[in-house]
């Protein structure tokens, strides 16, 4: 596969943009490669500047669900652009998208739109602190909630510990209010709550997507909710990936939980910059100008993003059967891929839910941070490169979800299975 033009562009980009990219994982650094440059995208495919075609399992990190450049969505956007690109003033479509979200998520009574998932989680945390008058936050190790200072924190070893920042530039003074628990280990949440009385909120991805897909164990989310309720801790459900992906009402619908605040993003903008946070009326009323917790945004509720979001959500609302189709297609692929892995002696596990899955290079089940973190990253690097050469684009990191859209149909699943056969054969014989 020739990638000369992409390589030349990447070289140019590194002179102008740190590492050549506007978001770190796009640099392909963790798989020791350099990125291709996209010229256009259609359906389940990306096309690069060298003329290569890639079956896309990144799907803009979950923002795309109808497939790239969906015809109906494109014409809705064109029409929206004709009416102006930004108003900084109220417009009717804001109410329409708010109604769609409230109808889909019974836990949300009032909501605000933002311009990214990061802004949504950042605002949700400020709101929780403002509402409760407390400072502490509980998060799970390995959950990613955007590049919010207080959330760029991981645990040291052991159970509940004070957080230390993951990134330079995050003051220890801020990070020390973040307590880190272990997903699927309820006792770690209990321990933190017993030890610390200043906790405003617990934020979680209900299905982990940022260590690869890790599903909550039976009742885990319900126990988390119970513990929060007993202690006056607000439960923030970060459904930036899972909302409208795993089903129309998000993971909270699947697992029967009722969070105080929910964060959304990605899908609700149909591929445009958007985020949202919403929840119980009395909590949301603490936001300015009703209350004293300040939150704002020049482009919040941008008319193009909102109208793209409305088109997407209405389509999903009226075609619920496509969630079943997305699930069935992943199940079909999963069975075949696991058979292929066994045949070629490649230790492999697949975790999946509707619309997303992760294949882990591991000989044991992956159900928490520890079991994910110990996967074979070298094997993933080899897999990634082989797959790219086959014309299939998986995320350039073991710790991401592979994202399926409505356009990943039987043809795409067959292509994927055939490529697994070739790639695992090569990997099996080289190990
Ligand atoms: N929450 C989750 C669960 C995410 O996966 C992400 C981004 N991948 C974010 C929040 C942040 O969203 P954004 O990149 O739009 O700021």
**Three-class secondary structure assignment of 48-96:** ECCCCEEEECCHHHHCCCCCECCHHHHHHHHHHHHCCCCCCCCCHHHHH
Task: Kindly list the distances between the CA atom of residue 239 and the CA atoms of 69, 194, 425, in Å, as whole numbers in the listed order.
Answer: 24, 27, 37
Average pLDDT for 417-425: 98
- Other beta carbons within 10 Å of 264: 31
Q: Is the pLDDT of residue 395 over 80?
A: yes
Looking at the predicted structure, is the pLDDT value of residue 192 above 50?
yes
Q: Which of 62, 115, 117 to mutate to test the pocket of ligand 1 (most atoms within 8 A of CB)?
A: 117
Cβ neighbours, 10 Å, residue 322? 17
Given 45, 54, 144, 420, which residue is catalytic? Answer: 144
Q: Output the pLDDT for position 265.
A: 98
pLDDT given at position 396: 94
pLDDT band of residue 155 (cuts 50, 70, 90) is very low
**Ligand 1 centroid – CA 99 distance (Å):** 23
Q: How far is the CA of 323 from the centre of ligand 1 (A)?
A: 22
Q: Which ligand 1 atom minimizes the distance to the CA of 275?
A: 15
**Residue 160 binned pLDDT confidence (cut-offs 50, 70, 90):** very low
pLDDT level of residue 164 (50, 70, 90 thresholds): low
> Which H or E run includes 275?
strand 275-279
What average pLDDT does this structure show over 236-256?
98
Residue of minimum CA distance from atom 9 in ligand 1: 146
Yes or no: say if 236 and 259 are a contact pair by the CB < 8 Å rule: yes
Quick one: pLDDT at residue 154? 66
Owner of token pair 């109410």: 95
At 239, list the tokens: 């459904």
pLDDT given at position 157: 30
What pLDDT shows up at residue 203?
Answer: 97
| Whole-number average pLDDT of the chain | 95
pLDDT of 343-372, one tens digit each?
999 999 999 999 999 999 999 999 999 999
pLDDT at 212: 94
Candidate from 164-178, 272-286, 339-353 with smallest mean pLDDT: 164-178
Total-model pTM: 0.96
CB 358 within 8 A of CB 394: no
Q: Is the pLDDT of residue 423 over 70?
A: yes
Does residue 56 carry a catalytic annotation? no
pLDDT of 252 strictly over 60? yes
Which range is least confidently modeled, 39-43, 121-125, 155-159, 172-176? 155-159
Catalytic member of 48, 56, 238, 260 = 238
Q: Report the alpha-carbon distance of residue 271 to residue 248 in Å, rounded.
A: 17
Residue 209 Cα to ligand 1 midpoint, Å, equals 10
Choosing from 45, 70, 266, 369, the catalytic residue is: 266
Contact (CB, 8 A) for 92 and 248: no
Is 4 labeled as catalytic in the residue annotation? no
To the query of whether residue 378 is one of the catalytic residues in this protein, the response is no
Distance from the alpha carbon of residue 4 to the mean position of ligand 1, in angstroms: 32
Q: Which protein residue has the closest C-alpha to ligand 1 atom 12?
A: 117
Tens of pLDDT, residues 203-217: 999 999 999 999 999
**Separation of CA 146 and ligand 1 centre (Å):** 5
User: CA 36 to CA 80: how far, in whole Å?
Assistant: 31
Ligand 1: residues with CB < 6 A are 61, 116-118, 121, 144-146, 205, 209-210, 238, 240-241, 265, 275
Dist. CA 239 → ligand 1 center (Å): 9
Q: DSSP of 182-207, one letter per residue? A: -TT-HHHHHHHHHH-S-EEEEEE-SS
- How far apart (Å, rounded) are the C-alpha atoms in residues 177 and 192? 12
State which of 113, 116, 118 you would mutate to test the pocket of ligand 1, scoring each by most atoms of that ligand within 8 A of its C-beta.
Answer: 118
Q: pLDDT, tens digit, for every residue of 43-87?
A: 999 999 999 999 999 999 999 999 999 999 999 999 999 999 999
Residue-wise pLDDT for 305-319, tens only, equals: 999 999 999 999 999
pLDDT at residue 259, rounded to an integer? 98
Are 387 and 380 spatial neighbours (Cβ–Cβ below 8 Å)?
Answer: no
Residue 430 banded pLDDT, cuts 50, 70, 90: low
Q: For the range 293-299, what are the long-range contacts, defined as Cβ-Cβ under 8 Å and sequence gap of 24 or more?
A: 293/126, 293/127, 293/129, 293/130, 293/131, 294/126, 295/112, 295/123, 295/126, 295/127, 297/113, 297/114, 297/115, 297/119, 298/86, 298/88, 299/86, 299/115, 299/273
Asked if 191 and 160 touch (Cβ cutoff 8 Å), the reply is yes
Region 194-205: mean pLDDT is 97
User: Quick check: 266 and 405 in contact, CB under 8 A?
Assistant: no
Supply φ then ψ for residue 180, to 5 degrees.
Answer: -110, 120
163 pLDDT above the threshold of 70:
no
pLDDT exceeds 80 at position 304: yes
């Amino acid at each position: 596969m020739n990638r000369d033009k992409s390589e030349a562009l990447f070289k140019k980009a590194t002179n102008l943009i740190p590492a050549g990219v506007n978001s770190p994982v796009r640099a392909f650094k963790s798989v020791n490669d350099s990125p291709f440059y996209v010229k256009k995208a259609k359906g389940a495919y990306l096309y690069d500047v060298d003329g290569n075609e890639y079956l896309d399992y990144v799907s803009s990190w979950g923002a795309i669900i109808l497939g790239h450049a969906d015809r109906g969505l494109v014409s809705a956007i064109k029409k929206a652009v004709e009416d102006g690109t930004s108003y900084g003033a109220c417009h009717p479509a804001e109410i329409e998208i708010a109604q769609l979200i409230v109808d889909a998520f019974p836990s949300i009574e009032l909501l605000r739109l933002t311009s990214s998932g990061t802004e949504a989680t950042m605002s949700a945390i400020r709101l929780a602190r403002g509402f409760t008058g407390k400072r502490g936050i509980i998060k799970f190790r390995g959950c990613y909630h955007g590049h919010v200072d207080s959330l760029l924190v991981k645990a040291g070893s052991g159970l509940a510990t004070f957080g230390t920042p993951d990134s330079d530039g995050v003051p220890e003074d801020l990070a020390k209010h973040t307590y880190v628990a272990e997903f699927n280990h309820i006792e770690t949440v209990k321990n933190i709550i017993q030890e610390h009385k200043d906790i405003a909120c617990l934020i979680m991805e209900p299905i982990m997507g940022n260590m690869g897909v890790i599903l909550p164990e039976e009742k885990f989310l319900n126990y988390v909710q119970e513990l929060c309720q007993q202690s006056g801790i607000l439960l923030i459900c970060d459904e930036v990936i899972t909302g409208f992906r795993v089903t129309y009402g998000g993971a909270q619908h699947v697992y029967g939980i009722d969070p105080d605040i929910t964060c959304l993003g990605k899908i609700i903008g149909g591929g445009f910059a958007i985020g949202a946070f919403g929840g119980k009326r009395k909590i949301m009323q603490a936001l300015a100008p009703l209350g004293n917790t300040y939150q704002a945004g020049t482009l919040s509720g941008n008319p193009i993003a909102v109208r793209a979001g409305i088109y997407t959500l209405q389509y999903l609302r009226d075609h619920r059967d496509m969630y079943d189709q997305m699930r069935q297609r992943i199940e079909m692929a999963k069975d075949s891929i696991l058979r292929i892995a066994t045949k070629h002696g490649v230790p492999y596990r697949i975790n999946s839910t509707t619309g997303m899955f992760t294949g882990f290079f591991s000989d044991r089940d992956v159900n928490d941070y520890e079991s994910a973190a110990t996967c074979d990253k070298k094997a993933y690097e080899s897999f990634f490169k082989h797959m790219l050469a086959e014309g299939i684009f998986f995320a350039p990191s073991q710790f991401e979800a592979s994202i399926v859209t409505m356009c990943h149909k039987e043809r795409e699943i067959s292509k994927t299975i055939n490529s697994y056969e070739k790639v695992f054969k090569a990997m099996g014989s080289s190990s």
